Structure 1
């Protein structure tokens, strides 16, 4: 063993130990490992940060932005609503939920896919009186499985592809991972649906709800072409029951009906007063194709009740228009000493003075079926407002309201959703058919999102998981140092001679199991970066195709099911599912056995040695 090999082994051992310890975030540990390699002379100073311009890093950042755009426009919400069964037993619900999670994570960040579907899983668990964990763990594992099926599904696949690019074969294509990945994912989802979900421990979760705003009363207008046109109120109410919502009133031709006849047929421009949970508003609107009705701006003479002392603070009439794509949704609590109490949106001329819309009011002690613009505010009301963050902050300051913590309240935009899906499919197609590289194709998609305001510019960088970007950018040069120093060759030779004993199939299985075990305890992208040089060296020494061994690394790095720390998705469900550290192996161990049993024969068939 040379001195350089000893140094890289020491740095890697310390890095892996810190990853396992978990005291410091993985990006800090990775950056420390990179700097240690530079100081030790293992990575040239001029090459220290080339990893941050690596195509794999660029692709991950762009995919995160595209995923955020799909989430923001409500495209995924619409898909979930159409795919997930409204009334089904546990097995069918778990099958649909896990399958949809796997499908989404193939083309978007799997953490984002889980975050989108978690509220739906919790809602289904409540309806079917199941412990939340029995839906959350299958969903988390399904999103992990789906990530291995495409190039962009998970960062380890991009890392593996970048190492293959160093060989004469070039990088892997978009769907090179699919033949084996899809088969493994299908086997995993099938096992989870039929048997696996029953292995999840029953854990009761204590109520940790913070501030319960109750239900909102909101107004939704029936637009031309909406699904609600021509339906009776009874039919509409049956559809709304699926989203735990109900119609409490109706307005037609300025006539307010507090108890409309259930047989009344809805027409264009009818306004429905709907009571719904905050998180269900998006489902309610997309179910019937309705549009939120903001509190209308009254005529100037309607301002007689306004507080004249506030006129000095009024916004000017020629205030610059704001773009809808720069607006946010914010909940404000009316304090007991707020000057809003006793006033209505029409009194304070909300849209005229602040350029914000009142979308809904939540009132816990009783229900009001007045129009939003004429409903007088009371202490304890929660207002759902839409507008620029600075304008909402001004309003909250002027009227003593308290902003509440951000929650998953989204209003679907069908036009933008369709556009976002089209751009995503175009980027996938360009990468899949080799017209552009993956990094360039998805960078182009991100640029289109920016120009079309699918993702607001102020939220562009918030959509990127920067710790993951730093981790990837830092570990790529460290992995390169393993190859340059010969450390990867040394490790591969030890594994081959002492364990595999020169048998390529045994080496393939061993590489898969070792990678899978490491990914259960350290970041999967870091695991892929460490194991890829070993796979390439082993392939060279055995005289076999490196593709088979690299694919084994990709699968192993993506399959971390034994612990809550191996993958972010496992961590996300830890508290909502009420899980303990040792709960994961009960479903995770059979899953990893299935992965090995299914993937090894398929790897030998699809990517022969």
Structure 2
């Protein structure tokens, strides 16, 4: 192994550790990796940044705009409400849900599909007495499976497409994935409908849990006439420095001050509402002139305030900041009641919580919160409040026409996918269905940075000979495992990496290895490219491997092990189907 390969291994190992530990955001971590590769001379600046000129990356950016137009049109909301029926069994409900979701996901980015349908499904499940945990993982899995049906179904397919084009190969056509995607989706849906849903938990949504249990961690204190707090601001009274309690709101006469600003002056008779734990309750009980309002404690939810459940988006400015340092109250005019992370609900020490992707916040805010922040890139709105902006009838017709036009032009190979996506974006802008500012907001720049950076890392794996070395090792197994064994090993390694890292980074890392194997064994590189794309996309084992899994994590009240229980058989099914079809098509 050369010195450059050894240095690359050190950089890759460091990158893996940071990604697994979630010390930094994925896109920043991978960008740091290519920066290190430039500084060490392994890559030239041109080689390191070449990924950002990749047509696959540009296509993904344009498809984000199209996806945002579809999601904001209200089409998805109307579709789901029409196809779901409370009179059906859970198996029938899942079938009616997963088929159209997977079909939609074949032609648009799956993240906005899942983002828009989470509140719709929560509303529907609540009104029909069905646990949302029975619906949300199937929603995510259907979107993932649907993404394997066409070239534009997921950004993973497009990054592999871009890497193929860089090699001078023709690349995939829109429906080349269909030979694999349709059987995969069919098998996956059948598994969930007849077997998988029995493995899903039956848990209450976060908002319902909060309403049932708020007395356990919501406390009220009345400021008495002799209190030393009277006349002081919240900051002067040091009510922001409590470790186990977090001030949510102040009730003064008939008015409610939420969120309570730091410069609010406290008055006699004010009711201070805190979230926290019993330890914090004991500490604040010793403050002179504060009386614990046990008997008359009121419900937080009233005509003035609403409880919202929102998910932190993966490009939110709140990420990796402590809540108390993010100026959350002043910026969003809302108070955080609890933070849901993985299977834990954090209600004490909220100010010191460092927010991470996938965190779900329970917010107490006024009625205008949705109107103010529904188009913000800071949150995925996943509360029980419907935030759909309905498009005009003409707008819906234009959007549907654009989707059908892309499909038609792709079938007859009239234009490349990038050109079609560009034309679609121009039409949306000219018809003012999407404004320029909306288009800029719609693009998930973190994904774009991650894709461009990951391609650079993949280039380093190929340039240093590391891809050749790994390929040679796998080829040595051929005598004992055969070609099928090598394909299974390659799929398995790709699957494990995508579960613990990221689907885009995994695709960029594994592509050069698969390409090297195909050259050494004189096999079609398209076979390994297809396996790379599918294995990197079919992430069902963890909530962190794929963005849609992370989106439903909090709202469904899932535990980490829930994904493993339901996803392990599905992962085996997808691997078997993929390898079998690849064998028939290329071997």
Q: TM-score, normalised by structure 2?
A: 0.69
Higher mean alpha-carbon deviation, 591-600 vs 84-93, is at: 84-93
Any idea what the Cα deviations from partners look like across 1:261-299, whole Å, max 9, x if unmatched? xxxxxxxxxxxxxxxxxxxxxxxxxxxxxxxxxxxxxxx
Residue 126 of structure 2 is aligned to residue 161 of structure 1: no
- Distance in 2 (CA, whole Å) between partners of 1:203 and 1:86 is 18
Is contact 1:427–1:444 with CA below 8 Å preserved after alignment? Answer: no
Residue 474 of structure 2 is aligned to residue 506 of structure 1: no
Residue 569 of structure 2 is aligned to residue 604 of structure 1: no
What's the counterpart of residue 496 of structure 1? Answer: 475
What's the counterpart of residue 369 of structure 2? Answer: 404
- Distance in 2 (CA, whole Å) between partners of 1:419 and 1:21 is 44
Is contact 1:75–1:421 with CA below 8 Å preserved after alignment? Answer: no
What's the counterpart of residue 130 of structure 1? Answer: 130
What's the counterpart of residue 421 of structure 1? Answer: 400
- Distance in 2 (CA, whole Å) between partners of 1:381 and 1:165 is 54
Kindly report which structure 2 residues correspond to 1:93-172, keeping only aligned pairs within 5 A, or say none: 93-167=93-167, 169-172=169-172
Kindly report which structure 2 residues correspond to 1:344-493, keeping only aligned pairs within 5 A, or say none: 380=304, 403-405=368-370, 406-407=373-374, 408-493=387-472
Any idea what the Cα deviations from partners look like across 1:334-392, whole Å, max 9, x if unmatched? x9789xxxxxxxxxxxxxxxxxxxxxxxxxxxxxxxxxxxxxxxx9499xxxxxxxxxx
What's the counterpart of residue 245 of structure 1? Answer: none
What's the counterpart of residue 292 of structure 1? Answer: none
Q: 1:404, CA displacement in angstroms?
A: 1.7
What's the counterpart of residue 33 of structure 1? Answer: 33
Is contact 2:543–2:563 with CA below 8 Å preserved after alignment? Answer: yes
For residues 524 and 209 of structure 1, do their structure 2 counterparts lie closer, same or farther at Cα, with a shift above 3 Å needed? same
Is contact 1:101–1:117 with CA below 8 Å preserved after alignment? Answer: no
Q: 1:592, CA displacement in angstroms?
A: 0.5
- Distance in 1 (CA, whole Å) between partners of 2:117 and 2:517 is 40
Is contact 1:52–1:474 with CA below 8 Å preserved after alignment? Answer: yes
CA RMSD between the two structures: 2.5
What's the counterpart of residue 175 of structure 2? Answer: 175
- Distance in 1 (CA, whole Å) between partners of 2:531 and 2:523 is 14
What's the counterpart of residue 343 of structure 2? Answer: none
- Distance in 2 (CA, whole Å) between partners of 1:461 and 1:412 is 19
Residue 207 of structure 2 is aligned to residue 207 of structure 1: yes
What's the counterpart of residue 19 of structure 1? Answer: 19
Q: 1:79, CA displacement in angstroms?
A: 3.1
Unaligned runs of 5+ in 2: 212-252, 257-302, 307-332, 334-365, 375-386
Q: 1:173, CA displacement in angstroms?
A: 0.7
Is contact 2:94–2:193 with CA below 8 Å preserved after alignment? Answer: yes
SS of match in other structure, 2:207: coil
Q: 1:136, CA displacement in angstroms?
A: 0.7
Q: TM-score, normalised by structure 1?
A: 0.67
Is contact 1:75–1:414 with CA below 8 Å preserved after alignment? Answer: no
Is contact 1:502–1:542 with CA below 8 Å preserved after alignment? Answer: no
Larger Rg computed on CA atoms? 1
What's the counterpart of residue 518 of structure 1? Answer: 497
- Distance in 2 (CA, whole Å) between partners of 1:444 and 1:506 is 44
Q: 1:593, CA displacement in angstroms?
A: 1.0
Q: 1:34, CA displacement in angstroms?
A: 1.1
Is contact 2:206–2:554 with CA below 8 Å preserved after alignment? Answer: no
Is contact 1:142–1:185 with CA below 8 Å preserved after alignment? Answer: yes
- Distance in 2 (CA, whole Å) between partners of 1:157 and 1:4 is 29
SS of match in other structure, 1:434: coil
Kindly report which structure 2 residues correspond to 1:287-326, keeping only aligned pairs within 5 A, or say none: none
Is contact 2:477–2:486 with CA below 8 Å preserved after alignment? Answer: no
Aligned with 1:564 (options 543, 567, 573):
543
What's the counterpart of residue 234 of structure 2? Answer: none
- Distance in 2 (CA, whole Å) between partners of 1:32 and 1:169 is 30
Is contact 1:98–1:189 with CA below 8 Å preserved after alignment? Answer: yes
Any idea what the Cα deviations from partners look like across 1:575-609, whole Å, max 9, x if unmatched? 11111122211100010011122221111123x13
